[in-house]
Each structure stands twice: as structure tokens, then as C-alpha cells.
Structure 1
Amino acid sequence: MNEVTTFLNGKIFTANPKQPYASAMVVQGGKIKWIGESNELEKMEGNLVDLHGQRVLPGLIDAHMHPLFLAGAANQIACTPPLVYSIADLQEQIRLVRESHTRDNWIEGWGYDEGKLLEGRAPNRWDLDQVSPDVPVVITRTCTHIISVNSKALELAGITKDTPDPQGGKIDRDLNGEPTGVLLENAKDLILKKMPKKTIEENAAMLAELSPVLLSHGITGITELMGLREPIDYFDMYHLASEKGLKQRSVLYYIWDELKNNPIMNKEKLIRENQIHIGGVKLFSDGSVSGQTAWVNPPFLGDGGNYGIQTTTSEELLAAAEAAKQHDIQLVVHAMGEQAIDLIVDTFYGTEGWISDGPSIRIEHAAMPTAKAIKRASEKGIAFVSQPIFIFAEIESYLKNLGHERTKQTYPFKSMLQEGIKLAFSSDAPATAWADPVNPFVGMKSAVTRHAYDGTDTGQDQKLDIETVITLYTREAQEITRIPSVGQLAEGYYADFIILNQDIFNIPSERIDQIKVLHTYIGGNLVYSLDEYLAAKG
């Protein structure tokens, strides 16, 4: 493992503020032994790799995603363009799947956004019943906070006109009080608990198959933000996936509901130097902007005075924080709306953090923080993890729910950084209405241009330069996820890096999403090559 490789003649962006650029590096034992300019090398050591003037970046870290959901989505109906533009298109896709399904199998789909559908509304039970009256159907909205199901699924879950809304959830109903099949936030769990579960072997195999897809996007560090203990412990599942071929360094965050009755965790699972480890406890403070379940103020546009849904309390936050503190791991809270973010900041404003080498508390998404919340969060060292792909891909729903001016004020990245917020970028894949939701270069384009995919201005005063954006996917993402010795190319750090087919610093911003990764290295080992990947796909 002490083999030496020298990489020469590259355009290396290191993400190391002390030495941001280089053209050569020497790698030994999986780590960078030396980095600098090619003409500074005293001797050529070991194997030589000529980078031919290509752009090199540190391996990208997706600080908030759902790999198991993403892997599963590959086997579901993709309810996004270019496959689905309407409920009628969705019905046709369900019909095709139904023809090959038995009655014991559930039909699943992901990614619809009513803003992109011709009908301008969510599919309901009656839409789905037309093509599948006898086989249960579950179609997950892009945000993953809302599902649409058919009558068979409602029947299997025992949901009727008399079923009360669960705490933190809502069963959508028609004028007669009948469930429409649209279930919001915690109400969707009434269905999900009834669905057949895959075995640990099946899930691990799916994650292993996802690994090269992530490597093709240059992603060398991943996070699992929906960690469970039952019926399968995700730690064991990810370990098995690594044995089957999962290459990424992986941090797991366990849902608080899975831990609250027994928050004790095995210390071996918390060792951050291991490829798979537990990094935090996760709660939800609200829902999504695009699904009108974020806990906002002022309310969403419309006549109903809809302020969204509050899904946790200060008491729950404090209890989860105490469990996180006992294990020296993070408290991670989903919050998009103003009120949801305020709840977190106000709850912890008078308390001290417990982690010495990173943020103790993270706010995930942070779509609509007030100026006061940004200032107070910065004062307390609360980090934000955001997804610039959201307003890029879901612009129709943002405009419908918030209007143009308020949409441009969402995700105020520049204001966050100017106030001193620790910020990382990520995808939340597959929870966005994009055919390739995990592609980091789409997020980069969004943050640099502050234009949606259709050209809509999403806030020019909040756009960032490409160097900053890359740093938010690398060094800053490392400082927030706390994966050791990655995120920058510097002496003593792991040689996790990617080689691009275009120089991301010298192409028009509008073309950033067209960039391809030629090669991906983890620990100095070549783990992905574009040519081999394309050949394997046929």
C-alpha cells in the first residue's frame, strides 16, 4: 500500500486556501505526500501519470442526500420530463408497468411536480385507479414529503373518511371528506409502513450498483439522511454495500424517531476514520416549499392562508440534542420555511455547542431564513446545508407558491456567507424534479448563474463565483460532514480527486452542467473511468 504515484502537468484546484492551485502531486499510501508545481519536483517517484493539462478538483462531497432512495428510484417510474409531462403520461407509464406486475407487487414512481404537469395538480386516487384499480400504486412527489396513492393502497393501509390526520401530517380530502389519495408529511407513513420491505442483501446490492453512478459525477463522499434501525439497521446495510462494491466514504444520520426510546449507539459505529460511520441525529421541522408544507411566514400564495406544517417542537429538538451530545455527533434538522428555521435558531440560541471540530447543529435546506435568523445562527455556529438545484429544477412551483420576488429571496447564499455562516452544498437526491437529480454540476450552474433551467431569474444579488461554489462542495462540505482528511488536496490528505473533460474555470457559466468527469480517484486509486463506464453501459 506504499506504492508511489506522481501526477504531472495538471490544472489542480486544491480547495486549500494556503495553496489554491498546483500542477503536480505525489501520492503514497493513499495520501498526498507532496503537492506543488511540476517544475518544483526534485525527482519523479514511482508511477507517472500525465494529466495533460486537464482540470483537477478534490473529490466532491454530497453533504445531504438519500442514496438508498436514489438507488431505488432507478427501478421506479421516473415522473419527470422527458418521460412524464402530464397525468395522462403518468397513467400510461403505470399502465405499462401494471401489465407486467402481479397483484402482490406495488407500483412505485418518483419525482412528479404538479408545476410541471399539464394539469397543474397532483395525481389523485381516481387518476391512479383508472389504470390500476387492483394493484397498489404509490407515486412520490419530487420533495419526498408528499405521496399520491390509489384506492387499493388506501385500503391496504386502512385509510378511510374517518381516519384522523396524524400529528405533523395531513390526509388531503375532497369536499365530502373523502381522502383524495394525496398524503402530506407524516400522513404518508401510514402507507409506507404497509409497503413490502426489501432485504438487507437487496438494498446493499442497489447501493453498490449506485456507486459508479455517483463516481461518474465525481462524488467521493456521501451522506445518508434517513438512517433507520428497523427493520434493517442502515449501518449494517452500508457495510454490506461496501463489501459489494460501494466505494464512497459514507456518513449516516439516524432519524430521531428511531433513537428516542433507545438513543444509545455503539461507539465503534461512530469512528469517523472508517469508511462507514454514524455522524448525527436527524429531525424534521417542516416540509417543502414546492409542496406548500414548509412552515412559512408570510403564508403561501392563495386564498387559504396556508402557513405550512410544523413537524417538531422545541422539546423534541432539545431531547434529540442531548442524545447527540452524549455521542459527540451532530443534530441535523430539516427546515425550509422562516418559522421552521426560527424554531431551531431560537431553541438553541442560549445554548453552547458540544463538538469541538465542527458544527454541533446543522440546518438542512435553509431555504428561507430571515436576516435575523442568519445573524443569530452565525453567532451560535449553526451550519447550513443547502441545495441550489431546487430553485433551478422546481421553478414553476416556487413561482406559484411564493411569487417572483419572494422566490429570488430564497436560498440567500451570498448573504449567508457574508454573515459568516458555515455553508455546504448538496443535492438532496432524489428529492428534486430533475431527471438526473444527483448531478452536482447542475447545482453549481444554478449557484453561479442564479437562473432556473428555463432562464427565470432566481436572484442575481445572491449568485456566487465558481471557486466559492466548488469549495462548498469540497472543503466546506468536509468541515460540516467531518469526514477526516478529505475535501482538499493538501499534504497529509487523502488523494480523493477528479479529472474533468472541460476546465470549469474557463467555460461559460451556462455550460457548467455539461461537464463530464473523465476519472475519479479515491485514496489514490482509480475507481472510475468515463470510457470504461460507457462501455459497460453498452
Structure 2
Amino acid sequence: MNNEIKQCTYINGKIFTANQEKPYADAMVVRDGKVAWIGCQADLRKIDGDFVDLQGQRVLPGLIDAHLHPLYLANAAKQIACTPPLVYSIEDLIKQVRSLRGAQGKDRWVEGWGYDEGKLLERRSPTRWDLDQAAADVPVIITRTCAHIVVVNSKALDLAGITKETPDVPGGQIDRDKDGEPTGILRENAKDLVTRIMPVKTIEENAELLAELSDVLLAHGITAITDAMGRTEPTDYLEMYNAAVKKGLKQRSALYYIWEDLKKHPMLEKEKTDLENQIHIGGVKLFTDGSVSGQTAWVNPPFLGDEENYGIQMTTKEELLAAGEAAKQNKLQLVVHAMGEQAIDFIVDTFYGKKGWLTDAPSIRIEHAAMPTLQALQRAAETGIAFVTQPIFLFAEIESYHNNLGAGRTKKTYPVKSMLEAGIKVSFSSDAPATAWADPVNPFVGIKAAVTRLAYDGTDTGQEQKVDLETAIILYTRSAQEITRIPKVGQLAPGYHADFIILDQDIFELDQEKIDEIQVIETFMGGNLVYINENLAIR
């Protein structure tokens, strides 16, 4: 870590600025933490103060993850990663649960994340009876890759009071066998029946985890983040994130609070929503449906092989309008999860023709936007609704998409090129760790997926919807800023924060199939070096 540098000039670089007026440069002057000048080195008359020779390395603006679950990601690092190369089958999962149960003892829950039945040898989800084989005496909870579904063992069902007689909850489903017995699989809001009885970490413990995660994100070049699941209880996220800053969290962060929590605990005071704060509340969040890979997205036509399954509708028009009004009154964004055709239409049609309340960004964001209809694209563009989507989903979860939608329909999902051509503001993000990938937050995996439209195994995910590399980077930088509203980031231009990254390979010259191999050499925030890969250091 450097002490703060008042002025430093960077020369001999290949700088992609993400600034429309001057996209490329080879020199940059940073003063008091912000870009003072950027352009052609030949135009520099003299270099005052310190200077750094970038030695021809590629420089990008700091990356922005516009839809992320940092606390979940930080906790996942301490859990069983139920993904290849550790888990390929339910038998592998049983062994991992048994191993962790042995290591932890009898007083702790066994937790895991990331299983995808499409990748498992058995081609089915694990059940309570599978988990009981591994650990019958302690509660076990394994979260599916999409984070919309969990599977628990019999001990966890008992502790939560879930029996054959327990009814489904609104917006949720308890899976049952032919005799009506719960299988341990809990979808959408039904999973809350278990998660609400789990032990709660202290603010200090969670803050420590977030501070540790900060360095992981910086190693990926991510300098600004969001939390798409802000809660008021049992821990207030704003308080937790501010505590994490004191422990070393460096990213500029926007939190989107769950509408259900805000209804019970209104807390949108002006000082908490000030965009200039490193940690601030940026929006009101609610769910319209679930996930495509978990077959809980609200779709039309229905999922492949089940003519009765149109997914789960998770909110009402009244709730949607009420959340929108709360966002409007507090000058925040309305942030709505929607994947299926019906879910996206539901949001777009509810707000179609209504004037937005924000002047500096889209007032309404649709998160994921997996399967928009042509009408939804047109109406979203006319209404100024933004889409925040995740190219890593098709890349990592291709088996489940093919199983649930078929190959033809899969290729039409996440139609990024069509979104942009319609005039919709779009941003990329990861939704980490809610995808079946060992390193789910890696932005270079997402960029590769967007420009190749190929899955990890080479499967074509829709060549008509791929975008060029420059566009993909912009959707992780400038466009992400324009949607998240985190101020003065996302591009390297005079007056913007000097948040930038140096890559070990030139992303513009590299074979696109190898983009996911790129590593960050150094990450700077406010002109200060905040991360260095010692194995790749250039000076």
C-alpha cells in the first residue's frame, strides 16, 4: 500500500478510458485522487512530480459489479463449494458434508452452496434423505447455485417445524414426495422457514468477512460494488458495511434494501442515501419471480417437459407500486428481480407510460431480465427502465438451461444485443455467488461469455446476441456507473476518481477464448495502490 500521492503521471500505457469522447490514451495525470488529465503522452509538455512507466501494459477503469451479494459470497468462502472440481455427484456431496460435520462437531450447522442438478451425475437435486446419510444429528442446509432454492436434512426440517401438514407459504413451495412428505427442497420464500432459525453472526463477524472479501474483489479489478439483498434485521446492512470499512473494506458500495424489511423498519433518512458516502442505500429491492435454472422463474410458455409449470409469481401489482412510491419519495431506484417473460412483462406493463422520478439515472431497474419479450424490450426502452444482467449464467449453467428451456429457447435468453439496439440502458454484473462456477465473481469470465456467447463447455448460447469487446467492458464500467449512480467512477476522465486496474495481458489483443485467463497486476483506488499481485508485479 502506498501512502497517498498528491500527483503522479502515468506514461507508456495502453489505457482504455471508457469515456465516449476520448476512449483511448497512453498517459494520465492523477492529482489528489482524481484524474486531472488524460490523453496522448506526446501532448504532455513536462512531467511534474512522481511518474510511473506502465511499460505498455493494458489499463482499464476499475470494474463495477452492479448486482452482487457480497455477504453471501464472503460466507460461501467458509462453506462447502458444491461445484466442480470438488463435487460432481450427490455421492461427492455426501462425502463433503460428512467431512465437514466431522471437522466442526455437533454444535454447528453444516452449510454448502452452489449445487446444480444439471451438473450432478444423478441429474437430480439432493434430498433430505441424501443429507441424512451424511449427517443426521446436526442441521444441514445446502443452497442451490441460483440462491432461490435450498435443500435441508431432516434435523433442519424438525428444528423449523416443517411437517407433512405445513402449508406452502405465499411465494414459496415445499417440495413433497408422492406421500406428501417434505423432501427437504424448499423453493423461494419457503426457504425462509429454515433460514430464519439459523444462528446469526454478529455485526463484527460479518464485517470481518466483508473486509476479507474486499481484497478478493480488488484482485479481480472490482472497485465498486452493490449488495442486492440489504436487510434491516437481524443485522442492519448499512451499519455492518460501515463497520467493514473500519476493518478494511475499500470498495465504493450501494446497498439495495429488501422492500419487506423497509415496510417494517423505514430507515431511508437522507444521510443514509447520500450517494457521496462510500457506503449508501441506493434502492428498494423486491422479487417478482425466481430463477430459470431452478424452474421458479415466472415464464410463458411453461418449462420444458412440464406443461403445468409456469414458475412462481412472488409479488403483486399493489406491492410493486407501493415499493415504487417509497423509492420515489426517497429519490432511490426501484430494483426488481425478474427473469421469466411474465415477470418482466408484469413490471414493464405496471410502469409503462409513467414518468421516472430520477434525473441522473433510470428510476427502475430490472435485475437479470433473462427472457424479455419483444414488446417488453420496446416498452422498457420507452419507459426508461434499465436492465442489469449476468452473462456468466448461460456460461456456467448451460445444462440446466437446456433441461428447462431447450437449446433453441436458451439461445434467445439474455438478448443483450437486442436490449442495446432497443435503446435500453444495460449493465453487466455477476450476481455472485449465485451461479454454478467456482470463481463466480470473476468479471473476465462474464466478459468472455458476452463476447463469445459460448458456454464453458463450448456450447453455443446464441451467436446473434454476442457483443463486441469494447461494449462488454463498457457494460462493466461506464454503463454500470450510469445505472448504479455511484458517483465519479466507471471511466477515466478529468474529475473522475482515479480507480483503475493494470492487466497482465492486453484484453484487446488476446484470443477471446482466453479472456477468462486474464489476471490483474495492480488495482488503484483514488490514485492509491490498493492491490498488487506479487507474482506479476511489473516494477
What band does the TM-score fall into relative to the shorter chain?
over 0.9
Match of residue 115, structure 1, among 109, 118, 142: 118
Whether the aligned pair in 1 keeps the contact of 2:232 and 2:265 (CA below 8 Å) is: no
> Does the CA contact (< 8 Å) of 1:263 and 1:323 recur in 2?
no
Q: Is 1:414 matched with 2:417?
A: yes
Question: Is it true that 1:356 corresponds to 2:384 in the alignment?
Answer: no
Encode CA deviations 1:474-513: one digit per residue, 9 max, x unaligned.
Answer: 0000000001011000000000000000000001110000
Displacement, 1:46?
Answer: 1.3
Structure 1: which 4+ aligned runs deviate by more than 4 Å?
A: none
Say how many residue pairs are matched: 534
Of the three residues 509, 513, 518, the one matched with 1:510 is 513
Query: 2:253 is matched with which residue: 243, 250, 255?
Result: 250
CA distance in structure 1 between the aligned counterparts of 2:105 and 2:158, rounded to whole angstroms: 18
RMSD: 1.0
Q: How does 1:55-454 map onto structure 2 within 5 Å?
A: 55-454=58-457
Contact 2:145 2:435 in 1 (8 A): yes
Matches within 5 A, 1:451-530: 451-530=454-533
| Cα deviation 1:452-477 (Å, max 9, x = unaligned) | 00111000010000000000000000
2:21 matched residue in structure 1: 18
Distance, in Å, in 1 between the alignment partners of 2:316 and 2:21 is 43
CA deviation vs aligned residue, 1:283-342 (integer Å, no higher than 9, x gap)? 000000000000000000113521000001111000001110111000000000000000
Q: Is the 8 A contact 1:384 1:423 kept in 2?
A: yes
SS at match of 2:250: coil
Q: Secondary structure at the match of 1:316?
A: helix
- Separation in 1, partners of 2:102, 2:109: 13
Give yes or no for contact 1:30–1:524 (8 Å, CA) kept in 2: yes
Q: Which amino acid aligns with 1:75?
A: K
- Which residue number in structure 1 is paired with residue 38 of structure 2? 35
SS at match of 1:282: strand
- State the AA in 2 paired with 1:113: D
**Any conservation in 1 of the 2:390–2:446 contact (CA below 8 Å)?**
yes
Q: Which runs of 5+ in 2 are unaligned?
A: none
Shift in Å at residue 20 of structure 1?
A: 0.4
Unaligned 5+ segments in structure 1 are none
CA displacement at 1:38 relative to structure 2: 1.0
Structure 2 counterpart of 1:418, one-letter code = E
| TM-score, length basis structure 1 | 0.98
Q: Which moved more, 1:525-534 or 1:167-176?
A: 525-534
Secondary structure in 1 matching 2:534 = helix
Distance 1:80 1:135 in 2: 22
Counterpart of 2:124, as a letter, is R
Q: Distance in 2 between matches of 1:456 and 1:262?
A: 46
Q: Distance in 2 between matches of 1:262 and 1:216?
A: 36
The answer as to whether partners of 2:218 and 2:531 remain within 8 angstroms in 1 is yes
Amino acid at match of 2:69: H
The question of 1:531 aligning with 2:516 is answered no
Identity level (%): 71
Q: Secondary structure at the match of 2:246?
A: helix
| Whole-Å separation in 2 of the counterparts to 1:304 and 1:129 | 33
Superposition pairs of residues 48-59 of structure 1, within 5 angstroms: 48-59=51-62
Output the amino acid matched with 2:168. Answer: D
Quick one: which amino acid aligns to residue 77 of structure 1? I
Cα distance in 1 for residues equivalent to 2:263 and 2:446: 34
In structure 2, C-alpha distance between the alignment counterparts of 1:104 and 1:282, rounded to whole Å: 34
Aligned residue for 1:56, secondary structure, equals: strand
1:26, 1:45 within 8 Å by CA — same for their partners in 2?
no
Deviation at residue 532 of structure 1 after TM alignment: 7.0
Report the TM-score when normalising by structure 2: 0.98
Residue identity in the other structure for 1:279: G
Letter in 1 for 2:239: D
Instruction: Report the Cα distance in structure 2 between the residues aligned to 1:72 and 1:215, rounded to whole angstroms.
Output: 18
